[in-house]
Chain A
Amino acid sequence: MNMLIGYGAILLFTVLVVVVMSRGRRVDKSMSEYATGGRSFSSWYGTMAFLNTWLAGTMFISFAGLTASAGAIGFYSLSYSLLSVVLMFFLGTPVNKWGRIHDLRTQADLLGLRYNSRSVRVIAALIGVLASIPWVVLGMQSLGLVFSTLSFGQVSPYVAVVIGVLFIAARQIWTVKLGTRGLIISDMVQGIFAYGVGFLVILGLMVWLITNGHGFNEVSPSLLQLPGPGSAAGPFYLFSLIFTGMMGAWCWPDLFVRMFSVKTPKTVQKSAVQAAPIMFLFSAALTTVCLLATSIPSVSDAPDTVWFILAGIGGVGMVAIAGVCVVAATMGNVGANLQAVGTQLANDVIGVHKHERIESAKGAKIAVAAITLISAGAALLMANQVSGLIVVAFVSYQAICQLAPTLLLGIFWRRGTAAAANAAMVSGILVAAVLELMYPSPLSIPWLGGLTSGVAGLIVNLAVYLVVSVVKPAPAAEQARVDALFAGLKKKETISEGALT
């Protein structure tokens, strides 16, 4: 009976999401409409799309587990997430405006325009695709814990991972069919449940913990320490974690394209302003409740299950709701990743290889379906090796953030060149990869004061970008083209109505 309630809750929620997606369905025949949802969404859709893409289901599992095992350092994810929102505010105008004026569909498309370079576009696209796939596989596998918990002991952990992978892969039928428009509409439903209902559950659990002898004074002092001078991790370790997270955020193709999907630059900025308090309240509450839960003995034995251990206080119904929160957050992240990766592959790798601008959505749909099948296959093959994949996922974060100087300086600085971008991305990834191989665990490098391989790579990356841009500036004609591109940002444009409200 308990399993019926648990699995039934997930089934009901999934049916609700699919019904809402299907009701908002419009046929996106062109690649641009499929990739951007017709650039038609209002700020609240933008807010929820950003949150549902950024705050994945693993917030309730791995990030909650990190706080439950390592303590207050778990708040670092809140810090880099909010700095990412601040960046979103400033990126909104150039990204959205260039996207609309030049019909951009992907992050790599924007870089191709800015640097007038096929190689920059392809390298950026391949980095984005290769770094994203481990996270898709991990996202699929993370549902294993949900299906295992909601079976209340009826299903083995391995079978639960298989069920989770098949479930999330089947859900992608609608991602493939409906593209970004369907994703953003479903993000609203999924986001309301994951962070709205989830927040209410967290508040209830926090009150219970504080009133039942699990207050702040009961948290072990060892869990209330941050790495500083003289610590094992190194004085710059926390800085590195937050800096890598902030720089890497907008390098993820799935998150970046959200800025193309809303109506205007002002809508992007408004989405950021609306996302910040939701992000703050939800993430701060979740991290705090996980910290308070550390005084519960069973939590230290299995920190990754802290969310479900806490939900168990409220009985079967509460565990089912907790499971749906994880599923809702995972659906948004996995769907967004698959859609962005598939579209980028079709638009920026196959399209560039064929020397043609792909106009039909069909190619992207096939690419999204193919990536879904490959990811699901990989997730099933590695169903018993989740820990190994987490390492690959961490490494992929060190790699994806190497796009940051090329992306951010390209958007905010006129003098960066294609040669600088190519040299910077390649050198940054090489440095990060070599250091990662030399210092695989923990992530910090002792002789660099605790900097991670990603930050060390970024320092080299940034230096190479600046030196090459200054030493070998763009030819006059290319500089004039870039100047015209930036000048276009100052011009006023009128945006047509017909948007989804």
Chain B
Amino acid sequence: MVDILLLLAPPVHWLFSDGQATIWYFLVANALVTLSLFGLWMTRDADEEATP
């Protein structure tokens, strides 16, 4: 949900819509989403499947 808000919410786009802030917005927001995947991986349900 946080990932979607960061990258999709129009007010966030409008907040960083001018100047070099646009570049840093995209870089930082996408870096955070990348890191969130590692968080998801660490907290996934370990019992989801049997070990091959």
- A221-B19, A273-B38, A496-B52 known; A239-B3 Cβ under 8 A: no
- Any B CB within 8 A of the CB of A301: no
- Of B23, B31, B41, B50, the contact of A273 (CB 8 Å cutoff): B41
B17 touches A228 (CB 8 A): yes
Total A residues in contact with B, Cβ cutoff 8 Å? 51
Q: What mask results when residues 1 to 14 of chain B are scored 1 for a CB within 8 Å of chain A, else 0?
A: 00110011110011
- A224-B23, A288-B23 known; A82-B30 Cβ under 8 A: yes
Q: Bound state CA distance, A225 and B19, in angstroms?
A: 6
A238 to chain B, nearest CB (A): 5
- Of A85, A224, A242, A494, the contact of B50 (CB 8 Å cutoff): A494
Total B residues in contact with A, Cβ cutoff 8 Å? 32
Chain A residue numbers with a CB within 8 Å of B4 are 83
Q: Bound state CA distance, A99 and B29, in angstroms?
A: 33
- Any B CB within 8 A of the CB of A236: yes
B14 touches A229 (CB 8 A): yes
For residue B23, which residue of chain A has the nearest CB?
A72
A224 touches B3 (CB 8 A): no
Q: Bound state CA distance, A26 and B44, in angstroms?
A: 34
- A86-B36, A238-B10, A280-B30 known; A227-B17 Cβ under 8 A: yes
A225 touches B18 (CB 8 A): yes
Q: Bound state CA distance, A269 and B48, in angstroms?
A: 12
A235 touches B10 (CB 8 A): yes
A284 touches B30 (CB 8 A): yes
- Any B CB within 8 A of the CB of A342: no
- Contact residues of A: prevailing secondary structure: helix
Q: Bound state CA distance, A291 and B48, in angstroms?
A: 43
- Any B CB within 8 A of the CB of A78: yes
Chain B residue numbers with a CB within 8 Å of A236 are 10
B29 to chain A, nearest CB (A): 7
For residue B29, which residue of chain A has the nearest CB?
A79
Q: Which of B34, B40, B41, B50 has the most CB of A within 10 A?
A: B34
B50 touches A493 (CB 8 A): yes
- Of B8, B14, B16, B31, the contact of A280 (CB 8 Å cutoff): B31
Q: Bound state CA distance, A453 and B44, in angstroms?
A: 36
- Which residues of A pack against B, CB within 8 Å? 72, 75, 78-80, 82-83, 85-86, 89, 93, 97, 216, 219, 221, 224-229, 235-236, 238-239, 242-243, 246, 263-266, 269-270, 272-273, 276-277, 279-280, 284, 287-288, 291, 492-497, 499
Q: Top 7 nearest A-B pairs by Cβ distance?
A: A75-B26, A226-B17, A72-B22, A228-B14, A228-B17, A79-B7, A492-B50
**16 A-B pairs in the complex with CB atoms less than 8 angstroms apart:** A72-B22, A72-B26, A75-B23, A79-B7, A83-B4, A83-B33, A86-B40, A224-B18, A224-B22, A228-B13, A235-B10, A270-B41, A277-B34, A280-B30, A493-B49, A493-B50
